[in-house]
Amino acid sequence: MSVTINAHQLGLLIDKTIGHIGGEYTAPLNGIRLDVDTTFLYAVASDRYTLAVARYRLLHDDQGGQPFARLIPGEYLPSLREWVSSQTGSTYISISAEDHYVEFGGTHTELRIGVDPGLEYPDWRGLLRTITEHTVEGEPFPALSAGFMTRWAATGDNLRVRVTAAQKAVLVFGEDFIGAQMPVRYAGVGPMKDETFDAVRRQWDKTLAAGAEGLDMATDMPDEEDRPRYEVTTDVYETGEALLQQVLRSGIDMHGKSSSAPDEFLAHINAGVHGWMAYRFLDALHTADPRFARAIAAEVADELDSGEISEFAWDAAKEAGHNPQQWHDEYEAYRKTRKAEKTAA
């Protein structure tokens, strides 16, 4: 199982898709999938929210080979991209897939990367097939400059997009933000030089026809694996979601424990109350200054991951003019009293 591609084209496939790979807790998506059929070599990447596919038409000699697909793990992609860059752009690289590794062969060197052939990758052909079969009134199909699209990242927000017409500006809406991006003149995709959506879609019909019908990225992508308990999200929206979940779970857990386990009952109350307080403060901060809220969420995540929050709290209390030693002594006295009461009971 082997195909051939020049170094420049392989580098392009990686560059076009590497920004879309999933994180380490979604193993089937944590990398770039090299997928070969009888006509093309595809590079596929997804983080569950975006899905990117770049393709390269195989040389004539390769077009009778056996199809294969392997996920190149994300941890090896920088090394692979560096190795590809070390090759002359016109140098042809062979890509061979074995059970547990993929080998890249250059003129003077080779690179072998271990892979897991058992990882189940989403049916990307089926997902894109379903999306391309969606219809909208008027079929607006503007061409947008990718270079201009990166400018919207500075909003740091979830943006709504409204496509108005094929050759008219695309509207962008955010939190207290509105913008527009003009389409660019476009001569078509590949040799067809045609601007219509149907004409462009037909170029992918053979590829996407191999996918299942009716798939949906919202339900047919791999779920993220549970983070280790010490891993904290740096995303402000995920932080808010986790706080709300804590409040609701604490409310469920405290029922029936007021008399049977008063300490546990009080712990659930405290967890719920403090979770709600933290959510409300985070929500207010995000409303006042979304960028600062994101920075604080990331900073707090790092502090929690360090495992030193007791030390941080002690220092913060002293800086605020409180007496943490007195708090410590009073709580120790309370614990001794509670222990004595339990022993006497």
For residue 65, what are the contacts with CB-CB under 8 A and spacing of at least 6?
1, 2, 3, 36, 38, 58
- What is the pLDDT of the chain when averaged over all its residues? 85
Share of the chain above pLDDT 70, in %: 90
Asked whether residue 221 falls in the same domain as residue 286, the answer is no
Best-predicted range by mean pLDDT (74-78, 150-154, 241-245): 74-78
**Does residue 151 share a domain with residue 256?**
no
User: Could you tell me the two tokens for 51?
Assistant: 């899905």
38 and 148 share one domain: no
Residue 314: inside a domain, yes or no? Answer: yes
Residues 186, 308, single domain; the answer is no
CB 44 within 8 A of CB 32: yes
Looking at the fold, whether 151 and 59 belong to one and the same domain comes out as no
Is residue 231 assigned to a domain?
no
pLDDT tens column, 84-138:
999 988 889 999 998 899 999 988 899 999 999 888 999 999 999 998 888 777 7
Please name which of 221, 224, 223 lies closest in space to residue 25, comparing C-alpha atoms: 224
| Residues 78 and 221 both lie in one domain | yes
* Shared domain check, 93 and 212: yes
Q: What is the pLDDT of residues 38-69, one digit of tens each?
A: 899 999 999 888 899 999 999 876 766 688 99
Structure tokens at 281: 């403060």
Same domain, 6 and 87: yes
225 has a pLDDT exceeding 80: no
Q: Is the pLDDT of residue 268 over 70?
A: yes
Pick the range with the lowest mean pLDDT from 13-22, 28-37, 261-270, 272-281. Answer: 261-270
Q: CA 228 to CA 305: how far, in whole Å? A: 11
Q: How many domains does the chain have?
A: 3
Residue 330 tokens read as 């009073």
Same domain, 73 and 10: yes
Residues 96 and 221 in one domain: yes
Nearest alpha-carbon partner for 198 in 128, 131, 137, 133: 133
In a domain, 57, yes or no: yes
| Domain identity same for 9 and 48 | yes
The answer to whether residue 103 sits within a structural domain is yes
Asked if residues 22 and 46 have their Cβ atoms less than 8 Å apart, the reply is yes
**Range with the lowest mean pLDDT among 84-88, 175-179, 232-236, 259-263?**
259-263
Asked if residue 54 is part of any domain, the answer here is yes
In CATH, what number is assigned to the domain containing residue 94? 3.10.150.10
Alpha carbon distance 153, 141 (integer Å) = 22
- By residue range, what is the domain housing residue 158? 140-190
172 occurs within a structural domain: yes
Three-state SS at 22: coil
How far apart CA 114 and CA 76 sit, in angstroms, is 9
Give which of 9, 6, 14, 13 is closest to 91, Cα–Cα: 6
User: What is the rounded average pLDDT of the residues 314-341?
Assistant: 88
Rounded Cα distance, 182 and 41, in Å: 32
Q: For residue 89, what pLDDT is reported?
A: 81
pLDDT digits (tens, 9 = 90+) for 185-221: 765 555 445 567 888 888 889 899 999 999 998 888 8
323 Cβ neighbours under 8 A, 6+ residues apart: 317
Q: 211 with 126: CB under 8 angstroms?
A: yes
Q: Verify that 66 and 84 share a domain, yes or no.
A: yes
pLDDT score at 192: 44
Mark which of 130, 164, 190 sits at the end of a domain: 190
Give dist(CA 336, CA 112) in Å, integer: 62
